[in-house]
Every structure is written in C-alpha cells, then in structure tokens.
A and B are shown apart, each in its own frame.
Chain A
Amino acid sequence: MAQNRDSILVVGSGVAGLSASMSLARQGYNCILVEKAGSLGGHAAGYTCKAINGKCQKCGACLVDDLLARFGDFPEIQVFLETRIDRIERKKKGFTASLNGKYGLKDINCGAILLATGFKPFDPNEKSNLCFSSIPNMITAVELEAMLRDKELPYRPSDGRQPETIAFVQCVGSRDPKRGHPYCSQVCCGYALRMAGRLRDLAPKTKITFFFMDIQTFGRSFSQRWASLQQDFIWINEIPGDYFVSDGDRVGVSVEVEDEIVDLSFDMMVLSVGMTPTDDQLTYQQMLDLSMSSEGFMLPDEDRGVFVVGSASGPMSIEKSITDAAGSATRVIAYMEGAR
C-alpha cells in the first residue's frame, strides 16, 4: 500500500527520530532514516537507569531501549548509519537529498523531511569561570550518566576513587539570556535529582550538595517527593561564581553565605548541563531556508514539507520528544496527503 507514495526522510535517530519513523511506518509510509553516528538511539541510549531500591523513578531512559527493540519489527525502514546529508535540493514535488557516509554517496528522493537532529549538551568550556578543563574532578552530567550506566558506581577521573562528597551545579548553560540560552532546559533538575538519589542508594554514605536557583521539573510525584528530597541533600540556593582546584584534587567553589564569602570543596562536582542547538543547525537552516525560534532552535517550514521534531526544536524530555514525534507524524501525513 505504500508503493505509490513518496518516502519521508527522517534525519537523526534519537528518541524523536525513532518514534516518528515507526509511527509513520505503522501508518503505511516509507521512511528513510539517516543517522550520523554508528548506532541508533541518540543521547538517551547512553543514560543510566535511575531506579532506587527497586522502584522506578520515571526518568524515561529505558524507553529508548523499548523503541530500539520494537524497531526490529520495521525492516522496511531504510537505515543509513554513519551518514550525513551534504545537500538538499527542492524539486517541483518533494526534495532530493545527497547522502554521504558509510555506504558511499547516494541521492534519494523524498516527499517530506523530518529533522530530528536533537540537541548538543552545553559545552562547559564556553563558560570560562567554570575552569572546566583545568579541574580534573569536575564532570558533566552526561559523563555521570555514562559512568553510572557503564560502571554502575561513580569514580573520580583523577584517581578512580569513589567520591564521598559530590556537588551538583544546576542550570549550567541554561536560563542565561545573555549567553543566548533564554530558556530552562526542562530536564536537568529531574535527571540530577534522580541521579543523586541513585548515588545515595548505591553508596549511602555519599554526601550530596545542590547549588541551584529553583527546582523546576521532576514529574508527577514532585509535590509528594519534594519535602523528603530537601532532607536527603544539602541545598544551597545560589550558583557559585568561582571554581578552582582545592587540596590537590578536590573541587572548590566560592559562595556567599549570609553576606560572607566562604570556600567549600568537594571530592567531585557534576555540572547539570543544559540542552543547546547542535552544531549542524546552521547548515540545515541554510540548506532548507529555515528561521530560528526565539529560544534559538530550528523552526519548521511545515507548509513546504520541512518538519522539526524532538529536541531539535527546543529543550524537551524523552517523554515530550515521544509525544512530539507522534504529533508530527500526523502533520507530516496531512502534508503528504495534501501534496499528492
């Protein structure tokens, strides 16, 4: 039934790209999925489970494994791994995209394009006061996710020891209009609190401090959980300005406590980095003549067959990316039906 229709090109195979292509395939459309990395799944495929004491904390990370398992039922979706798109040309009807990658060069025709190219975790080197590259035991939350997934426990990059005191710094690269990030990244309060809970579950003696402005998102159970979360961790309602190496390998910060500047230090520090536009965004904006949203992400051009799904359109969680992908599928189909 799908033979007479044009294919739909999906760029990026994170939660959003996987969900969108499967939704379209189930509704009878041919999809071509192009992924620049060597495997499917995007960022979430590298995250840890955050369950505590046998209870799921609803982080959504395992949903990507579910999507990948179900993806096996769709052999008709053509997948190009380690492939990028060099050029996209608009035709009278549809587009021609030039793929370049593992399988060589190839031109493909398609009726619509879904950009599911995702986000880039904020690069802490962009904020010089963090001194990220010169403080060995300062890591990003992306690194902590991978550490917990691959090694189960946290360890310090400097000596491989398990940290006894850990500090999380929230909103790194978010809620900062001056640096071009005029948005809350929506996910970092949730992932940081959940990872902190998991760390305490794995190593109950770990003392965890949060530097934060306010706590934005945690999910449905926030109002019931907030009181006990306040007990579990040390909360400092401030984002430190100065970061330095202290006692040889610890991470030090200066904060203002009741009008006095004090230095605090920790075995390890985790930066809760936000979600920022990818480096490829500009290329796509130019190739497809797209504008930028007020938050700095890609805007779609749905009347002309270009759709933007998932975090490529702005910060969003796994949950929202899945909803957005299903919603976009409906709009893409309406476009395809109208264009026929």
Chain B
Amino acid sequence: MNLRTIDKRVMVLGDGETAVRLSKALNTSGLDSYLLWAGGTPPEGIPEGIAVELSARLVALQGQVGDFTATILSSDQFIRKLAGSVMVAFESRTEPVFDVATAPMHEGVATLEDAEAILRGERQISGDVKTVVFLDRLDGASTPASSERQFNAILSFLDRGIKCYAIGCQMKVASRNLELLYGRARDGGCVFFKNDFLSISFTQGRPLIRFEDLILHEEKEICADMVILAENFMPGASLPELREILGVETDKAGFMQADNVLRLPLQTNRRGVFVVGPSRAPVTRWDLDQEIPAAVSQVKELFAWAESFPYEEVISFDIDACARCLTCFRSCPHGAIHFTNRPNFLALACQQCGICTAFCPNEAIELRDMEKDRIKGLIANERKGSDSAPVVVFACEKSGARILNSIPSEDTLLRRIRWIQLPCGGTLRTQYLLDAIGNASEIPERVMVLACHEDNCRSGMGTIKARATVERVKSFLDSVGWNQTKIEFISTASNEAERIRKLLAAS
C-alpha cells in the first residue's frame, strides 16, 4: 500500500500538570511532543527530548491532521511550527461558590483554594482554628471533580484534629472511590448536613451559620472559626480566545468539547485537534488518569488512519462555477476548507458531511457519489421497479439508513419504500426533494427525511440544516398549492427501529 507521509509530532498546549503529564505520556509511547507552555518559566519534571516553547500562545492553525502549520506568538516573536496533531490541555479556573456568602468576604470565610494553601503550609491561619464548616453548592449542581477536592481537604483538616462540618445539597460521589472517600470523611468525624438554604452572620468575628437540617427537621446553628467555600471548575482563561483560533465547538459552560456524544472521548469537530482533561470538562483524578493514556491511543489511531487514507478526491470542485463567495469556507463545520483565491478541500479534514455542497449557491461542489445527476438517476431508477413506491426516504447513514438496512429484505414494508442514503443530513439539497416529487411519472404520497436527533449529528449542524431544507420546500409547495405529497422531517437514532417502523407503516 502507498502510505501517505504524515507528520507525527504532537503539539501540546497547556499551563499545568495535565499538559506536562500528556507530553511525557506521548513521548514515552514514541511520539515526539512539543509543549507550548503559557508561562514564562519552564515546568518542572520535563524530561529531555521534549521541546518546550515558553510564554507561547497559538495565534493560528492551518492545515489538517498529519500536516498542521501553527503560528505562535512566543515572547513577542512570531514563529511557525509544524505538527501532525494538536492537543489542548489547559488547567481549569476555579471560582468560589457564592450561594450565600458574597464577596468581599469576611476574614472568617475562605475558599477551598485558600484552604489547600493552608494545608500545604503556604499560608497561615489567623488565630486558633478549632471548627471549620465546608459549604458546597446549594443548588444541587456540584460536580464529582469539586467534591473530590472538598473531601480531601476535609480529611486533611480532620487529621489535624479540627472539627469539621459540611453542608451541601446533593454532594456528588459519582466517580471511582468517591463514595468511599466520603465515607472516610464521615467516619472520621465530619458531620454532613443536607440543605439548600442557609444564612451566615458574624458574631464577635466568627461566622455563625443557621439552617434547617432537612433530614431531622431541626433548626441548626453552627458557630465556626472558618467557613470554606467549595469551588466550581470553570474553563481556563485562555479557552475563549483559543476556540476562535481553532474553530472548535464548546459546551454551554465554555469547556472545549461540544455536548455531543460523538465527540467522545477526546475529540473536537476538527479532526486532529484533541482536548484533554480540565479543558474538556471538570474531571476527577481518576478521569484524568484515563484521559491521558486515552489521548495517546487516540492520536496514534488517527495517524494510522491518515497514513492509509487513499489519494482520491472525495470532493469534486468546478472552478468555473465558483464565485469565490466564501460560503463553503464559512459553513464547513470541520475546518476542512482552506481558502486561498479559491476553496481548497483538505481530504483528511473533510468528514464528508456535504454541508458545503448544500450551501454553495452555484453548485460548484459535489461530494463523490452524491452528484446531483446520480441522485436524480437513483430516484428515477428506483421507481422503475414493478412495485409502486408511494414513499421516498432520504436517510442519514448514521441513523435512518442503519434502521432501514436492518429491516429484513422479505419485509413487505420495504416494498412501499424507496430510499437513498446520505452521508449526513446536511447533504440534503432542496433539489433532491423536488426531484423526488417531480422527476417521475408517479407522484409519491410521502417524502421523508430521516436524520439524526439534534445534538447527535456528527457535523453538529447537519440535521438542523436538513430540517430547515425540508421546511423551506414544504412552504414552497404550500405556496404553489401542491398537496399530493406529504413532506416530513423525522429525527432518529440507530436504536429506534421500532419507532421508525411504526411511522413508515402508518403510510
């Protein structure tokens, strides 16, 4: 086999432990890693052989897996680096939970970070501390990552003979060994209360906490020497800018991975750009211990895939039809179009969603096997069969087509259906739908589009685009008074065969 030449260096972006551990793990497994370090002093524990760029910030990333070119601002100088893959591995920011205590804080109120500094001996406690109250988030939406820190701090305070209380609503224990850690804190003497409301006042310089114990239904009052606020994990400060530079999705909180299970474990919408650890989501120690070696496997698998990727064009482009309007460049969800004086399609980055082909105003782009004429032919040919086919279906290969493929060929249901597989709902063009109705002697009763559920689309927006296309064609047909064909958009997943069968049988 003729293997592609792939650059196998991995560029790691970070500012803390995650990035250092990741670089080391890549290095040990035989990949060259290059650390783009945000800080001005080199991290500790970096072995020789890992290049580190200090005070470095990525400002642009072009290219595709196996062949990225990064522009980096390093100590006021622009430099260029080549890499085969990029891994984002910044630490998160923490933010104290101010459910009840408001900033500026009283000296008797500390954050978990302060408490950890005290435990490390980096800070002194003022006065004699005998009783401490830990406050968790009271809205019930804490995370295992933050309760893990809290439980560890409680255990250290208990070790020093300090009396501990912890108040929270739904303290999280859903991670490896976390319930056991909670049990150790409780058995070690920490008293846990469940509550979603309390008040703090200060008497003689000491915090006084009043609340109702929801389990025993009693009013409680604790006078402590110190109140320690739990902390939420927030996306690292550099992520908002970095996501713009990389063109990658984030979740609602701003962590650099969409809330889409198809990106799991460590992927982004841009192939070859990975996100690891606290840049991806709030993670526990256990999570991080899995994610670091997982990143190594993921990138090696991707390089192996890229090496064996054939030198064939998956997209055909008609330069004469192109108006250089940049629509394709803007709509590509995978960063697969590099625009010079024309669009260039990056074969290894393209995920064949077809969104550019559906958006291009001049029909200058075609996905292989999805050419307009071929689809037209498919619709027409399929209809020449002996049975009449009152239902025409366009089905995404990931969801609808998997269901249709699983229907046994002897099933009579299939006789009433003609279906065309799309690589993604996003490939659906207005023209396909019009052809399905107009391009034959026999008019279908129904035209259905079966694409993935929203947020479960590989291309993020393919299914939204398909729905919009269906709506547009529907209102067009309404406006011309066409009522012989029902056009429907139905979202589904590959495990919904029963639901889709019922819908199809209803025709």
Contacts and interface: CB of A to CB of B under 8 A. Distances in A.
B486 interface: no
A27 B171 contact: no
Given A54-B491, A226-B141, A327-B293, A175 B179 contact: yes
B296 A330 contact: yes
Interface string A310-340: 0000101001101110111111011000000
A214 interface: yes
Contacts of B399: 62
B499 A152 contact: yes
Contact of A51 (B214, B300, B304, B456): B456
B153 to A, nearest CB: 20
B265 A319 contact: yes
Q: Choose among B28, B183, B300 the residue with the greatest number of A CB atoms under 10 Å from its CB.
A: B300
B256 to A, nearest CB: 12
Q: Choose among B178, B399, B452, B498 the residue with the greatest number of A CB atoms under 10 Å from its CB.
A: B498
Contacts of B287: 320, 323
A180 interface: no
Contact of B175 (A48, A177, A186, A219): A186
A237 B196 CA distance: 13
A159 B299 CA distance: 53
A309 B461 CA distance: 33
Given A65-B402, A333-B29, A183 B179 contact: yes
A241 B7 CA distance: 62
Given A149-B498, A150-B498, A327-B294, A55 B265 contact: no
A47 interface: yes
Interface string B1-28: 0000000000000000000000001001
A121 interface: no
Contact of B454 (A55, A63, A323): A55
B491 A23 contact: no
Given A56-B261, A177-B183, A62 B290 contact: no
Contacts of B398: 66
A221 B265 CA distance: 17
Given A149-B498, A183-B180, A320-B290, A214 B265 contact: no
A184 B491 CA distance: 33
B381 interface: no
B260 interface: yes
B291 A226 contact: no
A28 interface: yes
B139 A226 contact: yes
A20 to B, nearest CB: 9
A326 to B, nearest CB: 4
A216 B261 contact: no
B298 A60 contact: no
Interface in A63-86: 63, 65-66, 69
Interface string A34-57: 000000000000011101001110
Interface of A: 23, 26-28, 47-49, 51, 54-56, 58-63, 65-66, 69, 149-152, 175, 177, 182-184, 186, 189, 214-217, 219-224, 226, 237, 258, 294-295, 314, 316, 319-320, 322-324, 326-331, 333-334
Interface of B: 25, 28-29, 139-141, 144, 169-180, 183, 194, 214, 217, 251-253, 255, 259-262, 264-266, 281, 287, 289-294, 296-298, 300-301, 304-305, 398-399, 402, 452-456, 491-496, 498-499, 502
